Amino acid sequence: MIACGAGQLLGEAPGARVSQIVDRTAMLSGWASRWSPGSRLAVLVPVSILIAVATQSWIATLLLAVSVLTLPLFLWLTIGETRAIASAQQASLDALSGAFQTRTEHAGLIKAFRAIGRETAVVRAASESLRDGTMRVLRIAFLSSAVLEFFSAISIALIAVYVGFKLLGLFPFETGEVLTLQEGMMVLILAPEFFAPIRRLSSLHHDRAAAVAASTVLEGWLIATGDAHERLPVLGRPPRVAFDNVSIWFGSNRVVQGFSFEAPPGRLTVLSGRSGSGKTSALLALLGLARVNGGVVTVDGVSLLAGASLADSVAYIRQSPWLFEGTLAENLRVGGPKASDQNLLDALARVGASHLASGENGGLSRQIGRGGQGLSGGERQRSAIARALLRGAKLWLLDEPTAHLDATAEAELLDLLRDQAGERTLIVASHSAAVMKAADLVVRMPSREMATT
């Protein structure tokens, strides 16, 4: 995951992703530590015991062999059933984790809007779905164990009846063998051990089913490690970025096809289109987080190879800038770890946000809440742009930067971006009319229907 970048994690709630990374990985241990050795023992031990019993009684050997022939069919049926149920149960766990994390993160808003009852019902429904899925898994587990126990008990009983009647001389027909007490005891002692690893396999195949279901999520990430991006050297000047008939895939889905545009340096270029048209994916392709499977992306005339990333030359600003709980200085130094306090104040001044570090607000030691709590939407965006200035990036990628701003804050932010455009290349993904009006160049994204034909 570190090698191929965080773009692989987009698309689901953070809680669901944490569940997939932690819980799915843990489920793989059941395959490695229990199912894998257990499945081998379930073959080796019965075969070894069958050979030992064959030296004592061929009838007992035949009874054991016939009884075990029904087990593969039974295991095949239960494994197929359990795999589907395990997959559904894990999806329910993801849904519950995502619902719980999201509502915990926004607990203040939920309380403020008096939505506690409604959101509690959502979490309860997700919890009930997980409980139902878990009970279905347990139901299959108990049923399969009970059936295997029944077959093994019947088989052992038949062998015991045969040995007993044979030793008493009461067996109704000739079997062509003479069974001594020592041979009979040997068969009776080994018969339960013949079925022991097979009975354990009944519970172990649930570990297998859970691991197989978990691997369906992890497999995509493992395959994606082949697309691990290479960070290109830092650009020393604003680049000219061009897409020529580019097709972009995000995960296993193609989101853009036949897309071409050119973003000249010193200009504000806007990618416009409906939600889902691939604006964000086009930006992520420059970071190496979306796959370019067709066409050519060039930077200053040089082709950007598959998996290559301009991340070290880019400042990427989302519609909800990432701010963490800490001081204002700590948040700003994400862009410039070695920046002095004066550098931070100068960056804030350039974006018109000097008031954020005023003495009455606590200066650079001002405490910022998680997600930028305590700052308005415009202040969060200005903080992110100040951080981009400290980074010194020559290519700025902005994803819906005015989405949560009112008209006044939007106009101020656009003025700020136009002021900064002369020193760098700006590419903005937006469908805002005000943003398109302020742009030097507007590029219309192809519709999703065109991308999927």
* pLDDT at residue number 3: 65
* pLDDT at residue number 242: 92
- Structural domains in the chain, CATH included, are 6-226 (1.20.1560.10), 241-452 (3.40.50.300)
**Whether the predicted pLDDT of 198 surpasses 50:** yes
- In angstroms, the Cα distances linking 401 to 96, 120, 328, 428 are 31, 32, 20, 8
C-alpha atoms less than 13 angstroms from C-alpha of 219 in its C-beta half-sphere:
7
Q: In the structure encoding, which two tokens stand for residue 426, read together?
A: 């700006």
Instruction: Give the integer Cα–Cα distance in Å for 244 and 266.
Output: 20
**Whether the predicted pLDDT of 225 surpasses 60:** no
* pLDDT at residue number 453: 35
DSSP conformational letter for 242 = E
Alpha helices in 225-307 (DSSP H): 279-286
* pLDDT at residue number 228: 53
Instruction: Categorize the per-residue pLDDT at 118 as very low, low, confident or very high, splitting at 50, 70 and 90.
Output: very high
235-258 pLDDT tens trace: 888 899 999 988 887 656 677 888
Alpha helices in 271-311 (DSSP H): 279-286
DSSP conformational letter for 35 = I
* pLDDT at residue number 250: 65
* pLDDT at residue number 208: 83
State the average pLDDT over residues 137-152.
79
* pLDDT at residue number 30: 87
C-alpha atoms less than 13 angstroms from C-alpha of 89 in its C-beta half-sphere:
26
Instruction: Categorize the per-residue pLDDT at 136 as very low, low, confident or very high, splitting at 50, 70 and 90.
Output: confident
State the average pLDDT over residues 189-203.
84
C-alpha atoms less than 13 angstroms from C-alpha of 292 in its C-beta half-sphere:
26
* pLDDT at residue number 73: 64
Round the average pLDDT of the chain to a whole number and report it.
83
The partner residues of 243 in beta bridges, in order of sequence, read 261, 297
Look at the block and give the residue holding tokens 């229907």. 449
State the average pLDDT over residues 160-164.
89
245-297 pLDDT tens trace: 888 876 566 778 888 889 999 889 999 887 777 888 888 888 877 778 888 88
Instruction: Give the integer Cα–Cα distance in Å for 59 and 166.
Output: 11
- In angstroms, the Cα distances linking 173 to 56, 62, 177, 179, 295 are 19, 16, 11, 14, 81
Instruction: Categorize the per-residue pLDDT at 450 as very low, low, confident or very high, splitting at 50, 70 and 90.
Output: very low
State the average pLDDT over residues 318-337.
88
* pLDDT at residue number 127: 93
pLDDT-above-70 percentage for the chain: 91
Q: In the structure encoding, which two tokens stand for residue 416, read together?
A: 């700020």
Contact (CB, 8 A) for 365 and 338: no
11 or 387, greater pLDDT: 387
45-79 pLDDT tens trace: 989 999 999 888 888 888 888 877 766 666 666 66
State the average pLDDT over residues 370-393.
86
342-351 pLDDT tens trace: 999 998 888 8
Burial of 226 (0-12, 13-18, 19+ CB in 10 A): exposed
The partner residues of 231 in beta bridges, in order of sequence, read 309
* pLDDT at residue number 253: 66
pTM as predicted: 0.64
* Amino acid identity for residue 256 in this structure: V
Q: Sign of the C-alpha dihedral, residues 141, 144, 149, 152? A: negative
Instruction: Give the integer Cα–Cα distance in Å for 413 and 416.
Output: 5
State the average pLDDT over residues 157-175.
85
Q: In the structure encoding, which two tokens stand for residue 443, read together?
A: 């590029």
Instruction: Categorize the per-residue pLDDT at 120 as very low, low, confident or very high, splitting at 50, 70 and 90.
Output: very high
* pLDDT at residue number 305: 75
**Whether the predicted pLDDT of 391 surpasses 50:** yes
Question: Considering only CA atoms, which of 223, 188, 197, 264 is closest in space to residue 443?
Answer: 264
**Whether the predicted pLDDT of 449 surpasses 50:** no
Instruction: Categorize the per-residue pLDDT at 104 as very low, low, confident or very high, splitting at 50, 70 and 90.
Output: confident
Question: Considering only CA atoms, which of 195, 192, 194 is closest in space to residue 48?
Answer: 194
* pLDDT at residue number 251: 58
